[in-house]
Structure 1
């Protein structure tokens, strides 16, 4: 007769539930994988499948009761790690959407917004377009596979233990979050410079020819010039996005090393 002790049962449950918490938290917060268009069952199924693949390769787990406070503390840590990894890549797409907001504001399209189910708020049209371009570039680079591969390697650098996470890791995430504004401005800078020049020219024209209505002429000119510049700039942003994605992968590694106290 096969007999299973309670300690063995706890070990089997912990071997699955702790890695599952880290993986599911990243799947639920990472770009592309966390899109609202993907059913929740697919996300859970992907997390379970990855856990079943990764769990047998992990080292020995802490011998704790699954319902103990120490085990719940480890579970909470794994959720925080997964969320931090997902947010690291999510910041890149937030920077792209910020660039779309800046460009749309300069073009006079601040009012052109619609409800975005992915964020649960109104999003500018240009921000949504740039976000779609970034997602397609992300897929072209197999970024989702590289992101999952980086997640799996985190179990080697930061194994599941009862020790506390180093607070310096959260500092790495906070420092990386500045890319939302910095990279967003760099991405939108070519269009913003041209549109700013157009606005300055229209201001001078309004002072010299006051009978000309700048409000009637300025909006069509800004919109036409902005769309023309976008047709030139959009095909050229792939190298910028590729570099930004690579920096995101590197930041994921730095985040895990900092959380591990290395």
Structure 2
């Protein structure tokens, strides 16, 4: 008869439960894989499969009870680090959708909105279009596979332990959050610049011919110019998104490395 002690059962449980928590948290927060259109059973099954692959390669885990306060603290840490890494990748798609929001408002398409189940709110059509285009670029460069590879590597740079977080990883994530405005404005800049010139020209035309109905003439002109500027800027859109995805993969690793208190203290002590 095979007998198992409670310590062995706890060791098997934590070797599966703690990595699963980090993996499921990333799958819940990451784009594409965390889309609401994907059934929850598929996400859980994918998380279990990844855990079964990653768990045997993990080092020794803390010998604590999974339901003890220390064990629950470790579980919470894994959830937080997984959410942080997934949120870092979602920032890229937020920046792209922000660019579409800015361009759509400048083109006069502020009324062209629909309900997005992803954000649970109204989204401009242009922003949704650029978001779908960014998703295709993300899949074409195997961004989902690279993201899972970084997740597996994060268990090396930030192993499962009872040590508290360091503030370095959260500072990196907060700084990366500013990329939403920088990248969003940069992607929308060609359309905004073209429409700014058109609006200046329409303003001069209105002053020269006050009897001209600017509302009847200006809207189709700005819409047409905005569409043309958006079409001409799309070839330059793909390389920018690819670079943002590559930078985000490095940021995800930096967040995990910066959250490791031992690595942060050693790097801070080195000259």
What TM-score range do you get, normalising by the shorter chain? over 0.9
Q: Secondary structure at the match of 2:122?
A: strand
- Say which SS state the counterpart of residue 83 (structure 2) adopts: helix
Structure 2 gaps, min length 5: 264-271
- Give, in whole Å, the separation in 2 of the partners of 1:231 and 1:171: 37
What is the correspondence of 1:1-262 to structure 2 with a 5 Å cutoff?
1-261=1-261, 262=263
CA distance in 2, matches of 1:152, 1:257: 13
Q: Which secondary structure state, in structure 2, belongs to the residue aligned with residue 114 of structure 1?
A: strand
Structure 1 CA distance for aligned equivalents of residues 129 and 96 of structure 2: 10
Within 2, Cα distance between the matches of 1:86 and 1:257? 15
SS in 2 for 1:66: coil
Return the offset for 1:167. 1.3
Q: Deviations over 1:212-247 (max 9, x none)?
A: 011110000000111111111112211111111111
Instruction: Name the SS of the counterpart of 1:227 in structure 2.
Output: helix
Distance 2:253 2:50 in 1: 19
Q: Which runs of 5+ in 1 are unaligned?
A: none
- C-alpha distance in 1, partners of 2:62/2:187? 46
Q: Return the TM-score normalized by structure 2.
A: 0.96
Output one character per residue of 1:24-69: Cα deviation in whole Å (capped at 9) or x when no partner. 0000000100111111100000000000110111011111111100
Are the equivalent residues in 1 in contact too, given 2:27–2:34 (CA < 8 A)? Answer: yes
Kept in 1, the 8 Å contact 2:100–2:127? The answer is: yes
Hey, what's the Cα distance between the residues in 1 that align with 2:38 and 2:234? 27
Aligned residues: 262
RMSD, aligned CA:
0.7
Counterpart secondary structure, 2:37: coil
Secondary structure at the aligned position of 2:114 is classed as: strand
Which aligned runs of 4 or more in structure 1 are off by greater than 6 angstroms?
Answer: none
Q: Distance in 2 between matches of 1:255 and 1:60?
A: 22
Q: Work out the CA distance in 2 between the residues paired with 1:72 and 1:143.
A: 32
The whole-number CA distance in structure 2 between the counterparts of 1:185 and 1:210 is: 33
Q: CA deviation at 1:144?
A: 0.2
Q: Secondary structure at the match of 1:164?
A: coil
Contact 2:190 2:230 in 1 (8 A): no
Give the structure-1-normalised TM-score. 0.99
Q: The residue matched to 2:41 in structure 1 has which SS?
A: helix
